[in-house]
Chain A
Amino acid sequence: MSDRPIIRIEDLHKSYQIHEIIKGISLEVDEKEVVVIIGPSGTGKSTLLRCINLLTHPDKGHIWLEEEEITAPHVNIDKIRQRIGMVFQDFNLFNHLTALDNVMIGMTKVLKMHPKEAREKALWELERVGLSDRADHYPAQLSGGQKQRVAIARALGMNPHVMLFDEPTSALDPELIGEVLSVMQKLAQEGMTMLVVSHEMGFAREVSDRIVFMENGVIVEQGPPRQLFYNPKFERTREFLWKITELYGKEDEAGG
């Protein structure tokens, strides 16, 4: 693991009307690091992810992507987003396009790749998530797990420097969670920098380098999985981790 931060967040704040969702968060994610953010719902985990690629604009604070401050005025948001892959809870595949075209469209329309070249790369990305035999299927013809894997391939097609996962398995039937997690695990092994909001404790324990526990808009505690599970500084952290593990534990074992 190198020490070069890919993402650096400094004192981030975000409110919706009178509710402050994020109350001063600072966080760094290094190159090739896999960080899992956990915490009760409504604590601003998703908002934090959406701030990182500016789908949501923070009210206060700074975010750097590699050397560039993306919260500075007049940055080209579209260029920034090309370097950040994002995977959503509800997949958001483009309904009118086949799996292949979903992966290709960013390459041809954003990266301006030649269609033939883009097609080859898109097929390779589908292969990477184990779906080259579904290239011609429309989203409606795919299972939830397959949709999410296509969504991952679509994000990978843009050659992102970091991948953000916003509860990627929360909308899936239990038996489909494993196939998505194993794709994510493979990505982590290949050295992708990943920031994952998830309740999959099995994944957090086995794959992540660091777990960040968030509650009420602040980071309560963070550290290597082992430390957070067995030796947390706060009782609240232990309580939450074990409650979640109990709830999701069976699926973890079934999913691998």
Chain B
Amino acid sequence: MNFLEDLAFLFSYLLQGLGVTIGVTIIALSFGFLLGIGLALMRVYGGRLAAGIAMLYSTVIRALPVVLVIFILYFGISRVIDLSPFLSGAFALGFASTAYQSEIFRGAIQSVPPGQMTAARAIGMSRWKAIRYVILPQAIRLAIPPWSNEAAIVLKDSSLVYVIGVPEILRRAEYVSARTLEPFLAFGAAALIYFFLTFLTNRGLDYMERRYKLQM
């Protein structure tokens, strides 16, 4: 077999993990998006108790290495609930991302001018309607730049689920490296794939940022 065939085999083998990597990333990001917005709303509009809980969550989770969160969820919780390594990994990353995204959305919500809420209430919107139709649509737009940063981090952190045996790109690169004894080639190929994934994600989000830019 010549070098090119080896290379083609290597990439096709690694790319079989692409679905897993993308799957873990999308689940973690969406999970973190929904819960993160929820926690951010608790922080900004909730009472003392709700804001306290949200802040505690964010402080604790951000103090832990993500790998540790993955271990806790996989070895701790999956004993009680039957979760596949794939889902445990995705949810663990989601729980971690929730903390970071809650900070992003809290900042974004707070940078919507207070007059927007006042004007919404003045035309008879309830607090919830004002949040839903006036505050969040603006906050989410404002959050796109820091959010794309978080998206890139989660995409790269998805490689951490390899520690619980999920066959994503990095795990597969490790298999190849062990078998062929050519770690540079195997991990270099994985690096290239990650680079393109991150690059494309950022380009996509840059486009969204320009498209939905809020002029004030």
Q: Which residues of B contact A247 (CB under 8 A)?
A: none
**B215 and A140 within 8 A (CB):** yes
* Contact of A78 with B124 in the complex, beta carbons under 8 Å: yes
Residue B137 interfacial (CB < 8 Å): yes
Q: Which residue of A lies closest to B112 (CB)?
A: A95
Interface stretch of the complex, out of B24-32, B51-59, B126-134, B180-188 = B126-134
- Count A-B pairs with CB separation below 8 Å: 68
- Docked complex Cα distance between A244 and B116 (Å): 31
Within 8 Å of chain A (Cβ to Cβ): is B163? no
Binding site for A on B (CB under 8 A): 113, 115-116, 118-126, 129, 133-134, 137-138, 141, 214-216
Q: Distance (Å) between the CB of B141 and the closest chain A CB?
A: 7
CB of B109 to closest CB in A, whole Å: 14
Q: Which residue of B lies closest to A103 (CB)?
A: B123
Residue of A at shortest CB range from B136?
A: A96
Chain A hits for B129, CB < 8 A: 109-110
B215: chain A residues within 8 A (beta carbon): 95, 138-141
- Taking A81-B121, A105-B123 as known contacts, 14 extra A-B pairs with beta carbons closer than 8 A to each other, sorted by chain A number, are A55-B118, A78-B121, A82-B123, A88-B115, A88-B122, A92-B115, A92-B116, A93-B119, A94-B116, A94-B138, A96-B141, A110-B123, A155-B123, A158-B123
Whether the pair B137, A106 counts as a contact (CB closer than 8 A) is no
Given the interface pairs A106-B124, A154-B123, the reply to whether A95 lies near B115 with Cβ below 8 Å is no
| Chain B interface helix/strand/loop/mixed | helix
Contacts A109-B133, A110-B129 given; indicate if A92 touches B216 (C-beta within 8 A): no
Q: How far is B120's CA from A227's CA once the two chains are assembled, in angstroms?
A: 38
Q: Which residues of A contact B (CB under 8 A)?
A: 53, 55, 78-79, 81-82, 84-86, 88, 90, 92-96, 105-106, 109-110, 138-141, 151, 154-155, 158
- Closest B residue to A151 by CB, please name it: B119
Q: List 18 A-B contacts (CB under 8 A).
A: A55-B122, A78-B124, A78-B125, A84-B122, A86-B119, A86-B122, A88-B115, A90-B115, A92-B116, A92-B118, A94-B119, A94-B120, A95-B138, A95-B215, A96-B138, A110-B123, A110-B125, A155-B123
Chain A residue with the shortest CB-CB distance to B120: A94
B138 partner residues in chain A, CB cutoff 8 A? 94-96
State in angstroms the CA–CA spacing of A84 and B122 once bound together: 8
Query: Contact between A96 and B214 (Cβ–Cβ < 8 Å)?
Result: yes
Of B118, B122, B123, B141, most buried by chain A (CB within 10 Å of CB) is B123
| Nearest-neighbor residue (CB-CB) of A84 within chain B | B122
CB distance from B121 to the nearest CB of A (A): 7
Min CB–CB distance B106 → chain A (angstroms): 19
Complex contacts, A86 vs chain B, CB 8 Å: 119, 122
Q: Which of A81, A96, A141 contacts B124 (CB 8 A)?
A: A81
The residues of A that contact B119 with a CB separation of less than 8 Å are: 86, 88, 92-94, 151
Return chain A residues, CB-CB under 8 Å to B115.
88, 90, 92
The 6 closest A-B pairs by CB, nearest first: A140-B215, A92-B119, A82-B124, A106-B123, A92-B115, A86-B122
